[in-house]
Chain A
Amino acid sequence: MQRRADNRAWFAVAPVVVVVAFTAIVPLMTVVNYSVQDIFDVDTRLFIGFDFYRETLRDPRFAQALLRQLAFSALVLAIEIPLGIWIARALVRNQGKSATGFLILLSVPLLVPWNVVGTIWQIYARPDIGLLGAAVTALGIPYNYASNVLSAWVTLLAMDVWHWTSLVALLSFAGLSAISPAYYQAATLDGANAWQTFRHVELPHLKAVLTIAVLLRLMDSLMIYTEPFVLTGGGPGNSTTFLSQYLTTMAVGQFDLGPAAAFSVLYFLMILLLCWLFYTSVMRGGDDG
């Protein structure tokens, strides 16, 4: 006789469902409600259907901010993931010597609040008094993140890499530490070189942690707000105005709640789609690793 599944454990999940409902689902539903109405005040609203969606999708500033956002996320991932893995591999090779100290040092940027990170780099990269800015300027390289687009982007990327590579490194370190030495011995016996060992032994074992690392960094970089707001204020011009800054300008600066809500829904769906595509493409080969 087939045994009936006991689903009582789902009751244990109920508190989380309630918390998520109150902190995420109900607010999201409210945003959807706002997005189809022109809000004049708390009691005066006009239903206008999808007009704000159409307006946002055809807004060139939205398209520009979206392109900047995608470029920023792609660059951040392209730097932080390989760099994090490289640092983790170096730490694993030196385990027992200086690895513990480096792990503690690596954790420090993760403990710094976003606005403080922005302030640190705002001062650090100033071409007149900042250590980095003054050093780069002394080398004869034209550098000013407040007036030069390239400088602003390089500084933002450096700041994000400084802040978040540690997360990738720590996750990768945990993944690499869990690999049995037998795999390395087998690889050595087979005559595998360093790249082959990485590609066929380490990388498959890192799949789960790297999926989490990429997902976290992808979602977080797509939502970046505080650091560029403090460092560059979205400038020079609009060159570092990402989606969240543009959204905040609409919602808080101009108090255009309807358009901002439509923007938010589009923003949410974009992040949801990108994360789902990434997750399913990575997990398609099975859940080994």
Chain B
Amino acid sequence: MGWMAWTGPTAAFFAAIAVGLAIMTASELRWPTTVRKGFLPIPTTRGDRFFVALLTSAWVHIGWLAATEAPVIIASGLSILLGVLILLKA
């Protein structure tokens, strides 16, 4: 695995995504998703909301890096808040 040039932070990042996917799979088996309409302009499943939350998080970080020199941890916090909001209310 040396060729993949792993670092601690990137390993933690991918582990978090893997855990998220595992939780999503387990949730789906236990409580099958239903399509619902929240504040997003499209009806979404749980998986859709997870994808939107991840994509939003990525773009919040990109916007943050493009716009400011402030610590990225703030963007990460903002992303988590937005992600929870999307998962629960979208």
Contact = CB atoms under 8 A, between A and B. Distances in A.
A30 B7 CA distance: 10
B7 A33 contact: yes
Contacts of A30: 3-5
A142 interface: no
Contacts of A138: none
Nearest to B52: A276
Interface string B44-64: 000000010001001101100
A34 to B, nearest CB: 6
A284 B35 CA distance: 13
A24 B32 CA distance: 28
A284 B5 contact: no
A269 B5 contact: no
Contacts of B66: 54, 57-58
Interface in B46-90: 51, 55, 58-59, 61-62, 65-66, 72
Given A32-B10, A37-B5, A269 B58 contact: yes
A273 B72 contact: no
Per DSSP, chain B at the interface is helix
Chain A contact-residue range equals 20 to 34
A159 to B, nearest CB: 32
A50 B55 CA distance: 17
A251 B33 CA distance: 43
A24 to B, nearest CB: 14
B5 A34 contact: yes
A284 B41 contact: yes
Nearest to A51: B65
A50 B66 CA distance: 11
A263 to B, nearest CB: 12
Contacts of A102: none
A269 B72 contact: no
B5 A39 contact: yes
A98 interface: no
A53 interface: yes
Interface string A37-70: 1010010010101100110011000000000000
A270 B3 CA distance: 26
Interface of A: 5, 26, 29-30, 32-34, 36-37, 39, 42, 45, 47, 49-50, 53-54, 57-58, 266, 269, 272-273, 276, 280, 284
The 9 nearest A-B residue pairs measured at CB: A57-B66, A33-B5, A30-B4, A54-B65, A33-B10, A53-B65, A284-B42, A47-B7, A280-B42
